[in-house]
Amino acid sequence: MAELIDGKRIAEQIKEEVKAGILELKTRTGVQAGLTVILVGEDPASQVYVRNKGIACEKCGIVSVEHKLPADTSQEKLMKLIAELNADPNVHGILCQLPLPKHIDENAVLLAISSSKDVDGFHPMNVGKFTTLKKFSDMESAGVFLPCTAFGCIELLERSGVRLEGADAVVIGRSNIVGKPVSMMLMAKNATVTICHSRTKNLAEVVRRADVVVAAIGSPEFVKGEWIKKGAAVIDVGVNRIEDASAPKGTRLVGDVEFKAASENASCITPVPGGVGPMTIAMLMQNTLMAARWFAKNK
C-alpha cells in the first residue's frame, strides 16, 4: 500500500516556517507583513475559506484585514478599493476571493491588483515572469508569486522525498489555477511533463508510464487505480462530493483518482480530504511573507 502524503502535517510545518520568517523580518526591518482579503457577496464556501485564511494569518503572525462587500457592489467601487490597497504600504498581499458576482469582470479585477501584491499568483505579470526564470530558486529574488494550489503540489512532492529531476510527470487538467502552472513548475524542476485532459487519446496508456501523476480534472475518480504505475507518486487535487447512502450525511468527498485501487500501485498518494487542500492556505501564507520581504528590500 502507498504511503499517505499528509497535507495537514506539511501545511502546519510550512506555517511554522512562515511564522519564524515573519518574526525575523519584523525584528530586522520593522516591516509587519499584512494581507488584505476582499470578499464580495455571501457565497458560503468563500466565507469558510476566508475565515480559514484569517485563522492561518493569526497563527503565522500576519496582520489580516478583511473587506466584506455586499453582492451588489459595483465594479467601480471594487476597483477603487483595490487602487487604495495597492497604494497602502501596510498591505503587502491582496487577495480578491473568487468567484465574484456575475456583474463584475473577474479578469479586470485580477489585472487591477498590483503584481507585487498578487499573492494568489494569477496576474499575467507573475505568470510571464515565472516562465522566463532561469532557476526555480530565483523566484523570490525576482519577486514572482506562484498560484498557491499548484505551488502546494510541488511542496508536497519535494517534502515527501519524490525525485522530480528527470521524472516522467503527467498532469491531468489544464486550468490556469492548477494544471498549467503545476506543469510549468514541474518543468522548472527538470521533470519531463505531459499535459493531458478529458479529450486526450489513450489517456490510460499515457498515465501508465508516469513516475509522477497530478490529477486536477475535476471529475470524481476519473483516474483509475489500474492506470497508476508501480511506485509512482500521485497528487490528487480534485475535491468532489458524491452520494453515498452509507455515509452519515448521505454524501462523501472523493478526489479525481480512484484512491483505494491507486494506493495498491503508488509509492505515495495524497488523500482527499487532507492532502492538497490544506496546502493552498499554507502557500498563501508563504507568498505573503515573500511579498513583505520584497517590500522591505525595495522600500
Query: Which residues belong to the active site?
Result: 53, 97, 120
Q: Cis bond leading into 273, ω under 30°?
A: yes
Task: Indicate the SS3 state at residue 2.
Answer: coil
d(CA 266, CA 245): 29
DSSP 139: T
How many residues belong to the chain? Answer: 299
Beta carbons of 186 and 169 less than 8 angstroms apart: yes
d(CA 36, CA 63): 8
Sign of the four-CA dihedral 3, 52, 58, 101 = positive
For the chain, helix (H) and strand (E) counts, in that order, are 10, 11
Residue 175, Cβ neighbours under 10 Å: how many? 17
Task: Indicate the SS3 state at residue 196.
Answer: strand
Give the largest Cα separation in the chain, rounded. Answer: 58
